[in-house]
Amino acid sequence: MTAPAPITPLTPAERRIAQHAVNGLPARQIAVTETLSHHTVRAHMLSLRRKLHCPARCSLAVVTHRLLSANEATVPVPDTPAPDLSPEQTNLLKAVTEHSKPLDIARGANIAPADLRAALDQLLADAGASDTTRLVAWAHGWNLLTAEQTSTERSEPVNTSPVPTAAGQSPAPLLQRPAPLPPVYEMRSLRTDAERAEAAALVQDRQRWLALRGLPVPARADIPALFRDPQAEPAGLFEDGLLLACMILQREPDLGWGEGPCLFLGHVHTLPDRSDDMIRLITLWASDFAARLDLPRVRADALARHPLDADPIARFLNRLTDMGWDLRGSGTGQTGERVARLELAAEHRPGLDALVGCSAHQSRSAADERSVA
């Protein structure tokens, strides 16, 4: 059993989301209850998983156990009295709090994998629980689980089987090298209708967030519709399957400004509550990606209905220049709206692929309206 790493305390918003999850609400119902978009709920869930050291592979039952053990959520009151579990069922319950994969649960409970489904069904029936997440939450209410248990996954066993050797030689243990960790983030083309629809929904959420704060949004183009169009070849930045940002990548477009070829980032939209972090990450990635394409510059533009030295655009542009972008004045965008023009030097960044994987198209030229929102 690996020692549990200390968790980072959750924010009040994350605790509310966590409590709903422990109480059995699905993500979309949580969104309705909290008056949030489902993207924001997913972002909160991703953040609290990270703080609990429960990656995406961890089941919600494991996450629930970790939350309740760390007192980051209130233990729900069970609907039924505590069941009289057998020792074998108690072991199975504990295995469910520690493991997510069926094979690992079976091993942890010392049950034959073929018998696991029947044993779980019997445990749920005896406890009166509809699923393993509800079972774990109620088990805390029945005091069947001690606080010392953690929901961190067990370490994968290391293969120490002796290597066959010639007679008279001592066998040497064979240690398996751990597989390299996948990148934390992934930039990839949005290839399916579902992914493009998710990007369109993110754009709508972002534009709604901007409008509620009196910030400008494009008025002369249907940007969500552009992301639904497969011909636009949209791309998205993901973390554990969650779409964090989306954009249109274009190579050497005819912008009417700037010298030399470039990679253009069009229609960049991020989750409302993670804008600066995502723009900073996109900046690093785009600089490196352009360098790999032998393009000397990255360009983008930002909707600017106010003078560039006046708020709110001035604060935004200052943050971008702090990230390495150069302001190249302003002009009229493709839809006739005024934009600030931005440029970034391409730069190879060794090691960045360990942070951001990339399977995006190498972009194309287009004459669509472009904006950074």
Dihedral over alpha carbons 278, 38, 368, 340 (to 10 degrees)? -40
The answer to whether residues 118 and 206 belong to one domain is no
352 and 256: one domain? yes
Give yes or no for residue 10 having a pLDDT over 80. Answer: yes
Structure tokens of 274?
């993670």
Residue 121 has pLDDT above 60, yes or no: yes
Q: Is residue 132 part of a domain?
A: yes
How far is residue 298 from each of residues 50, 199, 283, 326, 370, measured CA to CA in Å?
32, 22, 9, 10, 13
Backbone angles phi, psi at 11, to 5 degrees: -75, 165
Q: What is the mean pLDDT of residues 117-134?
A: 91
Q: Which of 95-99, 233-237, 291-295, 364-368 comes out lowest in average pLDDT?
A: 364-368
Is residue 237, in this structure, part of any structural domain at all?
yes
Least confident of 11-15, 90-94, 148-152, 335-339: 148-152
Percent of the chain with pLDDT over 70: 84
Query: What is residue 362's predicted lDDT score, i.e. its pLDDT?
Result: 54
Is a pLDDT exceeding 50 seen at residue 2? no
Check whether 37 has a pLDDT greater than 90: no
Residues 125 and 192 in one domain: no
Domain count of the chain? 2
Question: What pLDDT score does 5 carry?
Answer: 62
* Residue at 149 is within a domain: no
Q: Are residues 237 and 344 in the same domain?
A: yes
Q: How confident is the model at residue 265 (pLDDT cuts 50, 70, 90)?
A: very high
In terms of domains, do 213 and 294 share one? yes
Report, in this order, helix, strand and coil percent for the chain, each rounded to 5.
40, 15, 45
Of the three residues 81, 116, 141, the one that is the final residue of a domain is 141
Q: What are the phi and psi torsion angles at 103 (to 5°)?
A: -65, -40
Looking at every residue in the chain, the average pLDDT score rounds to 82
Q: How confident is the model at residue 152 (pLDDT cuts 50, 70, 90)?
A: very low
Q: Is the pLDDT of residue 346 over 90?
A: yes
Tell me whether residue 67 is in a domain.
yes
Looking at 141, 171, 199, which one is the last position of a domain? 141
What whole-number distance in Å separates Cα of residue 266 and Cα of residue 253? 11
Task: Tell me the whole-structure pTM to 2 decimals.
Answer: 0.58
Measured from the Cβ of residue 80, the count of other Cβ atoms closer than 10 Å reads 11
pLDDT band, very low/low/confident/very high, at 182 (cuts 50, 70, 90) = confident
Name the band, by pLDDT with cuts 50, 70 and 90, for residue 189: very high
Domain assignment of residue 178, yes or no: no
pLDDT at 163 (0 to 100): 42
Q: Is residue 196 part of a domain?
A: yes
Least confident residue range of 28-42, 127-141, 247-261: 28-42
Q: 129 and 194 in one domain?
A: no
Q: Identify the pLDDT of residue 229.
A: 92
Structure tokens at 166: 């010639």
Give the model's pLDDT for residue 211.
Answer: 87
- Structure tokens, 220: 């002369």
Please give the share of the chain, as a percent, with pLDDT higher than 90.
41
pLDDT of 306 reads: 80
CATH code for position 222 = 3.40.630.30
> What's the pLDDT at 155?
36
Please determine, for residue 64, whether its predicted confidence score (pLDDT) is greater than 90.
Answer: yes
The reply to whether 90 and 200 lie within a common domain is no
On the question of pLDDT at 124 being above 60, the answer is yes
Q: How far apart are the first and last CA of the chain?
A: 46
Most confident option among 3-12, 232-241, 323-332? 323-332
User: How would you write 185-252 as a 3-class SS string?
Assistant: EEEEECCCHHHHHHHHHHHHHHHHHHHHCCCCCCCCCCHHHHHHCHHHCEEEEEECCEEEEEEEEEEC
Same domain (yes/no): 191, 136:
no
Q: What is the mean pLDDT of residues 344-366?
A: 78
Res. 278 pLDDT band, cuts 50 70 90: confident
Distance separating alpha carbons of residues 300 and 265, to the nearest angstrom: 5
More confident residue, 176 or 32: 32
| 345 and 238 fall within a common domain | yes
CA distances for 253 relative to 209, 249, 299, 370, angstroms: 30, 10, 10, 11
Q: For residues 200 and 337, state if they share a domain.
A: yes
Average pLDDT over every residue of 121-127: 92
Asked if the model's pLDDT at residue 3 lies above 70, the reply is no
Given 113, 141, 169, which residue is the final one in a domain? 141
Res. 39: pLDDT tops 80: no
Provide the 10 A C-beta neighbour count for residue 360. 20
Residue 351 resides in a domain: yes
Q: Do residues 209 and 354 both lie within one domain?
A: yes
- Strand spans (E) along 241-348: 242-251, 263-270, 297-303, 326-332, 338-345
The answer as to whether 232 is a domain residue is: yes
Amino acid (1-letter code) at residue 273: D
Say yes or no: 348 and 283 in one domain: yes
pLDDT at 50: 85
Structural domain harbouring 308: 185-359
Q: How far is it, in rounded angstroms, from Cα 288 to Cα 295? A: 10
| Beta bridge pairs of residue 263 | 251, 298
